[in-house]
Amino acid sequence: MTTTAPQPPPDPLAPPLLDAQGRRMTYLRLSITDRCNFRCTYCSPASWGGKKDLLTAEELARISAVFASMGIRRVRLTGGEPLIRPDIVDVSRRIAALPGIRNVAITTNASHLAALAVPLREAGVTQLNISLDTLSPETFRRISKQGDFDAILRGIDAAAAAGYASLKLNAVVMRGVNDGEAAALVAYAHARGITPRFIELMPFGQGQPVPTAELVEQLRASGLALEPEPEEQEEAAASPTSGPARYWRTPAGRVGFISPLTQNFCGGCNRVRVASNGDLRSCLGGRAQAPLHQLIRGGATDVELAVAIRRALGDKPDGHRFTEPGNDATLLSMMGIGG
């Protein structure tokens, strides 16, 4: 049976923004740097040198404005480590002020949050996702040879005190490395009013993943009263800007699980990604792209940018190819695409 590709609206700048499967894109993940002050084994290969030509604050705001006119409602600033950009507060403020943007989020390793938590919230950032894979300084050094572990903990406490609408703690779980720390990470996060989330390791770097179902049973065995969030509650909490996590309940709060390998979430994908040099990538696990930075610097109009965006999304696959044999050789590093 043949399928007909969704037809774009007469005005390329008008919503909805649909991919090849008719999924509505409402969530932009915008990498603002591929440099990082850490070198985590699962994210940043030793050979990664970084791109030399990053988007400026003005270019980031323009790309975000075009996406907002097309129906994007949430922008997440990623990296690398986005807080190492000296203009991070200015970038955040510009994007938060755009018509149509309801939510600006940042994913960070927290190493600069002690100084930036309050300025970022005042600039309009509504959510922080903080990466913390371990509570052990020794295990941290095993995962990343660089970084100030105490600065991370200070940054997390600063974020918890700063009054954000949403704080999440992301832990990538690796067998034999930090897979015994899940219960401690849940307790640590809930004590600070933060929602912990556990992510299955994706095939971008070193390490072995732990399936979500195994981790859930481990948490229950530790004594944590963990129950799936009722479907009606999950649907009520969902929004056009929500991400791929599935949530469970405990007496102290929610626990999220992101399971790209064992509980594929591609069917509900609402995300489009732009790398730090301006390449639009239609899928985390694919290579279809549009060079938005080249178009901007070549004098393209907003309509021409919108046409290029729609063309790239017309090549977006129905799902990632993480588990296909040999596909790891074709994947970019997590640092290269911004997660």
| Residues that constitute the known binding site for GTP | 29, 76, 107, 168, 271-273
Q: Is residue 157 within 8 Å of 130, Cβ to Cβ?
A: no
Query: What is the bridge-based pairing of β-strands 246-250 and 227-228?
Result: antiparallel
Q: Please check whether residue 292 is in contact with residue 305, taking contact to mean a CB–CB distance below 8 angstroms.
A: yes
Cite the annotated binding site for S-adenosyl-L-methionine by residue number.
42, 80, 131, 202
Looking at residue 153, its amino acid is L
107 contact partners, CB below 8 Å, separation of at least 6: 76, 77, 78, 79, 82, 128, 129, 130, 131, 170, 339
**Do 277 and 55 contact (CB within 8 A), yes or no?**
yes
DSSP 276: T
Residues annotated in the binding site, as ranges?
29, 36, 40, 42-43, 76, 80, 107, 131, 168, 202, 266, 269, 271-273, 283
- Sequence-distant (6+) residues with CB within 8 A of 39 are 46, 144, 145, 146
- Closest CA relative to residue 116, chosen from 147, 148, 78, 154: 154
State the binding site for [4Fe-4S] cluster.
36, 40, 43, 266, 269, 283
